Each structure stands twice: as structure tokens, then as C-alpha cells.
Amino acid sequence: MEFAFSLTLPREALSIPVARNILGATMLDLGIAKACVEDVEIVVTEACTNVLRHAEPDSADYEVEVSLTNTRADIKIKDRGPGFDHRSLNQARAMDPTEEGGRGILLMQAFVDRIEFLNDPASGTIVHLTKNLMLADGSVLDSSNQSHAAHEPLAHPAGNAIQ
């Protein structure tokens, strides 16, 4: 089973917790282990923060695309920025650990299993994050638990069932 969705968000600070909370709540609803959810929330926060800081000033929005399976989360953060050389940025940060800020890429690398940066000056920058997942007991993504998933609605954090 695959669960996929995308968000188009305004390039404003308020969009960062919105993206993090929507993704985190969705992952918890699907029965993904809390430790994995927390890791993903950290990297999404960092990637979205980078969009706000580095995307083209005249770009009004950015996208977050998510694909979740029973084994993996694939997340793409797309903006209209000019791109950058992430390898040289990582080397500069590693040489000066006392420098404030600028550790977002290092954090992302620490919490996901794979990170890829795609730069296209015509269309923008894509940060592709891949996290191997662990499922909580009773997860609707667990293929051995498909009869449960087909008959019972997901529990929404507010207490309402999602049909």
C-alpha cells in the first residue's frame, strides 16, 4: 500500500509548522513508529526553513510531496531557488563547528537514510529525502494487517474517525 499527497504552501514562516504537523499527524495515523515520525518532522522543518531563506524572493509558494509505504517515506521539497553546491557548504560547516546556524543539511543527513539535491536553474531546487520506516503495532500500512485496514477507519488525533 502507498499513501501519497502533496502540499502547496506559501513561502511564509507559518507554513513550516503546518507542513510538519500535517506530515507528522498523517504518519502517526498510519501507524508509523513515533521515532521515525519525529526524525521526519525535524528534516521537513529544516528543508522548509531552507526554502524560506534561499528560494527566489519573488516565488510565492513551494511544494512538499510525500509518499509513504510500509517500508519508506519519500519526501520532496520543491522551490524556485537557483540551487547551491551542498557539498562545499557541508565542508565549510564541518571546518567551523562554532558557527551559528547553517547546520540544516547536516541535521537532515543525520536523520534520513538518503538525501539528494537536484538543482535546475529553470525550475528550481528539489530536496529529496528518503527515510526507512518502522511501523507501530497495528499499523494500517502493515501488509499482514490488511483485513483491519479495510474495515476500520483511521483514528484522527482530534478523536474523529477518518472515513
Question: 1, 43, 21, 12: which is closest to 131 by C-alpha?
Answer: 43
Three-class DSSP labels, 18-84: HHHHHHHHHHHHCCECHHHHHHHHHHHHHHHHHHHHHCCCCCCEEEEEEEECCCEEEEEEEECCCCC
The sheet that has 114-120: what strands, in order across it?
Answer: 3-10, 61-68, 72-79, 124-132, 114-120
Q: What is the enclosing helix (H) or strand (E) of 90?
A: helix 86-95
pLDDT score for 102:
61
pLDDT score for 143:
78
Whole-angstrom Cα distance, residue 27 to residue 38? Answer: 10
pLDDT score for 45:
95
pLDDT score for 162:
44
**140, 31 contact by CB (below 8 A):** yes
pLDDT score for 53:
84
Architecture, CATH, for domain 3-140: 2-Layer Sandwich (3.30)
pLDDT score for 92:
46
Q: What averages of pLDDT result for each successive group of 10 residues across the chain (163 residues)?
A: 95 96 97 97 94 81 96 94 55 52 79 91 87 94 63 50 43
pLDDT score for 43:
96
